[in-house]
């Protein structure tokens, strides 16, 4: 079924399906593995090879990254729901599809480390969807600018996390490195497509929300 044949109800049901799959553990499967290692993400390092205190910290970091991917799904779906140009809507939906791999990788790694995704994910999904839909209503240039700024901030988070993950944890590092590569590509693509530079107050507000999400999901 092509985009032209989708009715508003079809698109609504598709977004509801995406929300349910995003928020239901184990429903999204990765279609690829990070290219940093020849096996499915960094299979050389097992949880037992990481000291318990470091394992708990890495698990917290991966919980943050998983919630970040939940937010990314909601953000892109929200923007796609209000984008005025069909090619922009399609680009948002394609980006959300690529982000599904990240979601699956993070959830799998959290489970391997003995943890579970954040209980706050439904709240952050709803907030991110609303932000994405609002950005789409304002205009496609601002919507793309919002994507570019979001992805640039995610890249900084991932780079910070890579400094904190033990060198011996090859599996987690492979996931984070591939995510960083993909997110940077999304940021550049959105910018090249005509994304506007966001005003400093909006960028600061996004940074503040990111800090709140990071603090909360590391613990809950």
Binding residues for Fe cation: 69, 99, 102, 151, 183, 186
Angstrom CA distances, 28 to 18, 85, 110, 198, stand at 10, 28, 14, 32
Binding-site annotation, residues: 69, 99, 102, 151, 183, 186
> By the 8 A CB rule, do 158 and 115 touch?
no
Angstrom CA distances, 179 to 155, 174, 198, stand at 8, 9, 24
| SS (HEC) of the chain | CCHHHCCHHHHHHHHHHHHHHHHCCCCCCCCCCCCCCCCHHHCCCCHHHCCHHHHHHHHHHHHHHHHHHHHHHHHHHHHHHHCCCHHHHHHHHHHHHHHHHHHHHHHHHHHHCCCCCCCCHHHHHHHHHHHHHHHHHHCHHHHHHHHHHHHHHHHHHHHHHHHHCCCCCHHHHHHHHHHHHHHHHHHHHHHHCCCCCCCHHHHHHHHHHHHHHHHHHHHC
């Amino acid at each position: 079924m092509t985009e032209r044949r989708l009715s508003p109800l079809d698109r609504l049901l598709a977004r509801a399906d995406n929300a349910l799959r995003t928020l239901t553990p184990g429903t999204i499967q990765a279609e690829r593995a990070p290219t940093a290692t020849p096996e499915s993400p960094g299979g050389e390092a097992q949880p037992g090879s990481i000291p318990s205190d470091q394992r708990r910290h890495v698990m917290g970091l991966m919980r943050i990254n998983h919630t970040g991917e939940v937010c990314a799904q909601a953000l892109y779906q929200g923007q796609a729901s209000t984008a005025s140009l069909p090619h922009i809507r399609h680009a948002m939906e394609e980006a959300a599809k690529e982000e599904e791999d990240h979601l699956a990788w993070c959830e799998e790694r959290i489970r391997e480390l003995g943890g579970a995704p954040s209980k706050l994910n439904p709240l952050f999904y709803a907030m991110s969807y609303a932000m994405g839909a609002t950005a789409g209503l304002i205009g496609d240039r601002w919507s793309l600018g919002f994507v570019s700024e979001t992805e640039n901030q995610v890249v900084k988070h991932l780079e910070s996390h890579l400094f904190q993950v033990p060198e011996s944890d090859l599996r987690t590092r492979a996931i984070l490195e591939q995510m960083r590569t993909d997110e940077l590509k999304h940021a550049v693509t959105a910018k090249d497509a005509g994304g506007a530079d966001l005003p400093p107050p909006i960028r600061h507000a996004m940074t503040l929300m990111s800090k709140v999400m990071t603090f909360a999901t590391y613990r809950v």
